[in-house]
């Protein structure tokens, strides 16, 4: 199952303000455009596959500005929307069907308070085989039906009534087919995607929505959202992990540190290539998401890791971090060795880290020190490394 996302953001937001103020999805709440909050929730969700944002052709600059320096924004695909929400969704579904997504969550850009808990609840229903999942909350107000003269005609029984939210989520081929059939049957009046699924005969499963997941519709909704975020500013979920490793030096022809071979009259003994620097950094990365240590993932007792290049271990740890929704922002390694001299190899080592982790070289740091001839390192009996990894896991919800 690969869960793609279509975020519809091509509306004009006429109920939320004047055209001069711009569409509501680009207005600022908590100092950032509404849509940036929405995008961040999906970009940092660990199960998120391809993400399509449906924008208005007039909003290309606004959209680019809203995504500036947003981590992982390079993953976003964009397409242009139509005159109604229904048409915009269809354009998004067409675009998403060019990717490997098997399922889709269709979400309003104007719902920036979507949280990972709700996304997880919906994903669990899709996983269990539901073709259509609708997050909704039971209606709590008493409902009245009134005529044009504002006189109440009747009280509507509230039992069994639900208020629909997004992301409404589906098996992608089923909802694309339903949308195409609705369009070719000249049915353009659907106000959400679940009602198209109902019309197409697809059973729709309810899951409990989230009271925070409101749609910003009126000007006051934007003001209230801004006040809420000012009271509880969203804090980035920055985590650091540390790692330490040491290997013994024995007679040999060279050592490998951060994947760079350095000729030397000794070598590091160990089961793999004994690259202490990459081992320490692997542990540091695993420590940012509670994923144990290198020995849990690559037991020294397992013969397949004999002589293995340690870049495999580091790449695996980076993948685990990504699966947890983490974005690696810094990798820092200190090597403690009496010899050989690390300085001449430093840039090659940084380049290796940059390549293995898929981050820019200015986020990769290598430092080296001798042990001032003291202790086992000073006596050239071993080399040690200490590493610190910094990873951002989305935003801490208040
Ligand atoms: N939407 C869209 N294309 C449209 C109309 C709406 O992509 N032609 C999107 C909006 O950008 C919004 C979501 O659908 O994220 C929900 O629609 P709504 O709240 O009605 O937004 P607007 O149509 O922009 O607002 P209004 O109806 O007040 O003009
Ligand atoms: Mg609208």
Q: Give domain limits for the chain.
A: 3-232, 236-397
Which residue is closest in CA terms to ligand 1's atom 10?
Answer: 11
Quick check: 208 and 135 in contact, CB under 8 A?
yes
**Per-residue confidence at 395, pLDDT binned at 50, 70, 90?**
confident
The per-residue pLDDT for range 59-113, each reduced to its tens digit, is 999 999 999 988 888 999 999 999 999 999 999 999 999 999 999 999 999 999 9
Helices vs strands, H then E, count in the chain: 12, 19
**Per-residue confidence at 321, pLDDT binned at 50, 70, 90?**
very high
The per-residue pLDDT for range 6-58, each reduced to its tens digit, is 999 999 999 999 999 999 999 999 999 999 999 999 998 989 999 999 999 99
| CATH no. for 236-397 | 3.30.1330.50
The DSSP result for 211-234, as a single string, is TT-----SHHHHHHHHHHHHHSPP
Per-residue pLDDT, 40: 93
| 109 within ligand 1 shell (Cβ under 6 A) | yes
| Of the candidates 272, 297, 307, 268, the residue with the CA atom closest to the CA atom of residue 385 | 268
Determine the distance separating the centroid of ligand 2 and the alpha carbon of 174, expressed in angstroms: 24
SS3 state of residue 253: coil
How far apart are the C-alpha atoms of 117 and 289, rounded to whole Å? 18
How far apart are the C-alpha atoms of 163 and 92, rounded to whole Å? 24
**Per-residue confidence at 397, pLDDT binned at 50, 70, 90?**
low
Determine the distance separating the centroid of ligand 1 and the alpha carbon of 358, expressed in angstroms: 37
Is residue 394 over pLDDT 80?
Answer: no
**Residue 67 CB neighbour total at 10 angstroms:** 19
Per-residue pLDDT, 231: 85
CA-11 nearest atom, ligand 1? 24
CATH topology of domain 3-232: Spore Coat Polysaccharide Biosynthesis Protein SpsA; Chain A (3.90.550)
| 11 within ligand 1 shell (Cβ under 6 A) | yes
Q: What is the mean pLDDT of residues 234-244?
A: 92
How far apart are the C-alpha atoms of 127 and 105, rounded to whole Å? 13
Ion ligand 2 neighbours (CB, 5 A) are: 11
How far apart are the C-alpha atoms of 254 and 2, rounded to whole Å? 45
**Per-residue confidence at 300, pLDDT binned at 50, 70, 90?**
confident
The per-residue pLDDT of the chain, averaged, comes to 95
**Per-residue confidence at 393, pLDDT binned at 50, 70, 90?**
confident
**Residue 185 CB neighbour total at 10 angstroms:** 9
How far apart are the C-alpha atoms of 387 and 277, rounded to whole Å? 7
Alpha-carbon torsion (273, 274, 276, 281), positive or negative:
positive
Which long-range contacts does 201-204 make (Cβ < 8 Å, 24+ apart)?
202/131, 202/132, 202/170, 202/174, 202/175, 202/178, 203/130, 203/131, 203/132, 204/132, 204/133, 204/134
Quick check: 9 and 63 in contact, CB under 8 A?
yes
Per-residue pLDDT, 271: 84
- For a mutational test of ligand 1's pocket, the pick from 5, 10, 11, 25, i.e. the residue with the most ligand atoms closer than 8 A to its C-beta, is 11
| 215 within ligand 1 shell (Cβ under 6 A) | yes
Whether 3-232 shares its CATH topology with 236-397 is answered: no
Per-residue pLDDT, 281: 98
Determine the distance separating the centroid of ligand 1 and the alpha carbon of 86, expressed in angstroms: 10
Model pTM?
A: 0.72
């Amino acid at each position: 199952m690969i869960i793609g996302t279509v975020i519809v953001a091509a509306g004009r937001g006429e109920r939320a303000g004047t055209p001069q103020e711009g569409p509501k999805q680009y207005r600022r709440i908590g100092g950032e455009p509404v849509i940036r909050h929405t995008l961040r929730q999906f970009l940092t969700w660990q199960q998120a596959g391809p993400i399509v944002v449906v924008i208005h052709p007039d909003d290309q600059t606004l959209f680019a500005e809203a995504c500036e320096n947003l981590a992982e924004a390079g993953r976003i695909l964009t397409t242009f929307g139509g005159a109604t929400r229904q048409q915009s969704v269809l354009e998004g579904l067409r675009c998403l069907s060019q990717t490997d997504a098997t399922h889709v969550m269709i979400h309003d850009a104007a719902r920036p308070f979507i949280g990972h808990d709700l996304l997880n609840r919906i994903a669990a229903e899709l996983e269990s085989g539901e073709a259509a999942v609708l997050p909704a909350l039971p209606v709590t107000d008493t409902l009245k039906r009134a005529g044009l003269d504002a006189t109440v005609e009747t009280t509507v029984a509230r039992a069994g009534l639900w208020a629909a939210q997004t992301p409404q989520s589906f098996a992608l081929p089923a909802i694309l087919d339903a949308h195409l059939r609705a369009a070719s049957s000249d049915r353009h009046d659907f106000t959400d995607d679940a009602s198209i699924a109902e019309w197409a005969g697809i059973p729709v499963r309810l899951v409990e929505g989230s009271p925070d997941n409101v749609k910003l519709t009126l000007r006051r909704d934007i003001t209230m959202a801004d006040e809420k975020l000012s009271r509880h500013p969203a804090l980035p979920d920055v985590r650091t992990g540390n790692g330490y490793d040491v290997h013994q030096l024995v007679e040999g022809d060279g050592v490998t540190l951060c994947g760079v071979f350095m000729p030397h009259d000794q070598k590091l003994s160990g089961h793999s290539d004994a690259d202490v620097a990459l081992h320490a950094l692997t542990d540091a990365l695993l420590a940012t998401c509670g994923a144990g240590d290198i020995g849990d993932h690559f037991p020294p007792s397992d013969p397949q890791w004999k002589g293995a290049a340690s870049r495999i271990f580091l790449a695996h740890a980076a993948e685990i971090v990504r699966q947890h929704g983490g974005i690696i922002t810094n990798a820092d390694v200190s090597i403690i060795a009496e010899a050989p001299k690390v300085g001449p190899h430093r840039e090659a080592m940084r380049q290796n880290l940059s390549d293995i982790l898929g981050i820019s070289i200015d986020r990769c740091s290598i430092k080296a020190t001798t042990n001032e001839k003291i202790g086992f390192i000073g006596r050239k009996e071993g080399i040690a490394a200490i590493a610190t990894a910094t990873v951002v896991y989305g935003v801490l919800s208040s």
